[in-house]
A and B are shown apart, each in its own frame.
Chain A
Amino acid sequence: MKRVVLAGNPNVGKSTLFNALTGGRQHTGNWPGKTVAMAEGSYTYKGSTYALIDLPGTYSLISRSPEEAVAEEFLRSEEVDCAIVVCDCTCLERSLILPLQIMTICPRVLICLNLLDEAQRAGIQPDPKRLSTELGIPVVTTCAPDRIGTDRLLETVRAICDGFMPPHIPSGMLHGNTEQESDEIARSFAKRAEKLADIAVMGRTNTKPPSFTQRLDRVVLHRVWGFGIMGLLLLGVLWLTIIGANYPSQGLQWLFDRLGQLLGRLMTNAPPWFSGLLLDGIYATVTRVIAVMLPPMAIFFPLFTLLEDFGYLPRMAFLLDEPFRRCGVCGKQALTMCMGFGCNAAGVTGCRIISSPRERIIAIVTNTFVPCNGRFPALILLISIGFGTTSGFLQAAILLTFLLLSVYMTLIASRLLHKCTARDESYPFILELPPYRRPRILPVLLRSVKERTLLILGRAILAAAPAGLLLWLLANLSPNGQPLLQSISAVLDTPAGWLGLNGSILLAFFLGSPANELVLPILIMILTAASGFGQESAIGEILLQHGWSFRLSLCTMLFFLFHWPCLTTLITIYRETRSFRWTLISALLPTAFGVVLCLLVALLLP
């Protein structure tokens, strides 16, 4: 099998090209520097199979960041039969630097000028033949989403791999022996790219962004309007998610209930403890998690990905960099926070976009300070019970206050961590704002469901199954004549009382660790001494029957906002940091905030 490598700057449509060639799975974002891990796929062309490796998007190979080191090491290895370097036609001056560098270490290189449509709209006409003669390597033009030029690309790759095109001899001059020498080499690449762009581009060369982008940015980045637009967009996304997820959730639950009854009939001959364990324990918990998690994620992530594809997200990082800078972190953390509104596990993974290791850890640890989708419905329900208001507007305003509180606490926690962690090398905050692009709706939908929603759902189910088992055992084992669930909650009553909570609530938080959506249903199970989940609609009434007060609501809501992350998120944090210590801190820090806030409320409101 031939091995073909795909290299290129971030945001030049490299991943779209990868998808077009392999029909495979690889997230393509409009966020510069998205692909940190390498993706691999394969395709067949004229009877031969080719392995296609998507290198992390880098601007150059000289500054030796982790991604660049990975890319360089790979390109230097003997196993590469052909390297495709993807360039952005609209800014050849910059994008030709990388292929020039790659040519110094790799003998079989081919340049692919992508985004041809965008360039033509801007009046830029690249001349691939001229560029090819100047460089002595093949150059093809493509427009990846429409698959224009991909046949030509595949044919050229085949010719290179089969040895029909003579390889050039790499000079090996990529790094110098001294700092000055390296600088000189870096300069020479930039100068050469500038000259080449001059020769190979007909029409006007442009240093300024497209006029549509400029005009839109005047509003989007405005110091007043910009923040207004951002607030409206975020509220809109959250509103659509909460409203839109309601009915599909109920539908799914109904479907799962019917299926559960059917399964129950099939198991009539099995011992009761067995069917109880399997159906009321594991099945009920897992399906409940799916029913409450799937619809909101299936709405939130596509909307978020649309904003990403359009190019809005880096603008948000631009607007929010100043407040975050004051807390010692960067504006990119604002994006991971927003992703956290959808799902904290996704937010934690998203922290890969932050280049400074220290700021990345801070962003990961503080991500659970913002409430995810799983906590929103519970917060809304508690608002309507605790504040005794049915006015939708008032409820929304109270919810917004809580959201602002969570953002404020994120900043405080970030600042705290910034003070407590060791200073590392300074990483400059450089943010590329790509031109706005029209997002393609259908691929966005498919991609975000496939790559974010299903992945997270899978992890959630893994966590929910054992928890369902434990829950069923606690609800059904009664060594002292009382189910364990009630005995434990009675023991927890005293410490929970200090926090303005009660034992049942605290136990529900512990048992609801697999997913925050489970906390309220479990609470109802404890209060009604039932052995299975009850009806969602009755939650409010049951709580009120058990003497639910304003103080109890307030403390529960605060604890909902600030407590340990769900298991799915904790697993993700461990995967991202590879550090047991940071995973532990991620669990303890928000809990400490929640405990302090609840203590304060409990003291002030007797």
Chain B
Amino acid sequence: MDPLLNPKGGQKQLLLGNLGIVRGALEAGVAFVTCYPGTPSSEIPDTFFQLAPETDIYFEYSTNEKVALEVGAGAAAAGVRTLVTMKHVGLNVAADPLMTLAYIGTEGGMVILTADDPMMFSSQNEQDNRYYGKLSGLPVLEPSSPGEAKEMTKYAFDLSEELKLPVLLRTTTRINHSRGVVEFGKMNKRVTRGVFTKNPMKKVAIPAVSRVLHKELLAKYDQALEIANKSDLNFIEGKGKLGIITSGISYAYVLDAIGDLGLKGSVAVLRLGFTNPFPKKLIQKFLRNKDKVLVVEELEPYLETETKAAAQEAGITIPIAGKSDKLFSRLYELEPGIVREKIARYFGIKYKALKPVKTDDLPQVPGRPPNLCPGCPHRATYYSIKKVAGDDTVYPTDIGCYTLGVLPPLSAADYLLDMGSSISTACGISRATGKKTVAFIGDSTFFHSGITGLADAIHHKHNVLMVILDNGTTAMTGQQVHPGVDAEPLGRDLKRISIENIVRSMGVESLFIAKPRNMKATQKAVEEAMAYEGVSVLISEEFCPLYAKRIGALPKRPVFQVDQEKCKKHRECLTRLACPAFYLEGEDIMINPNLCNGCAVCGQVCPENAIKPARQGGQK
């Protein structure tokens, strides 16, 4: 049995915040879990995927976040405790059902995890999803540590059932991807079967019903506000005339700063864990005997604006500050040193910061950008397409490993917004420029939100080539299944949907299936596709080598090596293909046999035929 499933409580484990959330949901008796994976949330669904066969929990990687939220809403409507997880931008995709789900409410406890990514370690923006609480009217909880993430997740289910509303659990990367001590509690009994009680006048959001439901939501909001004002998740530590209001990981930085500055006990810290509805009464009480208050939070001035509004309402005129040129930035994440410095500055406390060593006389360190793996099929596809379509063609791209094609020398990415945007933006670019435009999209992203864009392209006869980079898995986020995956090697019984059949059935006449390692045939297909006026689709099929290795489908192939006598050292392979298995030894081009997986693409790029499989007893 996985230790996470241990029904007993009491044991302490060092867990990733995401696994704390898994344990919290298990302790709450979660029976239904849906998601779309995305950093920094992915370990939650990945763990449920592993655990599900050992239990009677239903788990799915849904097609996208909107679908995940809707499938989850259905289960929760039938009274089953449900967890739905996604990264912050995923909640944009799911925002449509979210807003009306707030009206309809829920029967079974329903928790929606939104994992924000301040600093954009692995995201296209750093939006602050606490505003979704305001926008939807749903309660928002923000944990400050992995241990608290577990406790809050468990509590969120109870809160959800008390209010009959879904609860947003908002984390950030430093909670999801930090490890801390998590103390296990007892597990509630899981109820996996529910009953859907018909009541269309409460559950079918037509205008007449919604007008009533909106009123009910506001009443629930008031009820939630009462709970927030009294919640143990909002607590005060220390006392004095100086105050700090904070939430999430910023609380950790505040506590350490107060310790470092010798202020323990002499500054009052109000830690908010229940941040929407904003606990106005509690805040006003806190502000009343303070001389000066600092709000410490990452990204937007969410707590700060609310605090100032609460102060205004109570006629409190003390200085309240947070985001400003001299204090905290709205950009990126906070860190302990910044928080310590700003607290000292705001409260006029002298301290000597530890000085970083001077590094100006140390040599410049060369960059180490992430790169497509050796033998990655995307590299071969990009090479072939650029070879035919050239540098002037515009290449909108999408979200996945293949976004790394943006880097030179492949330079195969010109425009990117969000999941599925490659094909739709290509339509606009092509129409406005009058030129055939090439969109790159991965297989999982195609199912997530590429099909609707393709329908638009076909229907309006846009002049685009959609290249579907089908590597048989959701590679970027950790090799999750999606509707196009053959799940049998993973031991799961899921129906596979053929991308080719979808595209064909939608009426695409210019359709090509390419094996990217066969570069001649791929390039011939690209030539035909580019010459076609209208929508063409090229499906480039080849397993992600890391995934192939995992499922035992990576063939044993001889590694390649450079015949130094034949090599004319013009470096076409190095400068155009840029496989990380290559390196220079003096003027000689070499291939690292430990990195090469024998994909044979370089051999087809070399005009001298100087790159060949190593014979036995060769390099490896």
A binds B: no
Give residues in A with beta carbon < 8 Å to B. Answer: none
Give residues in B with beta carbon < 8 Å to A. Answer: none
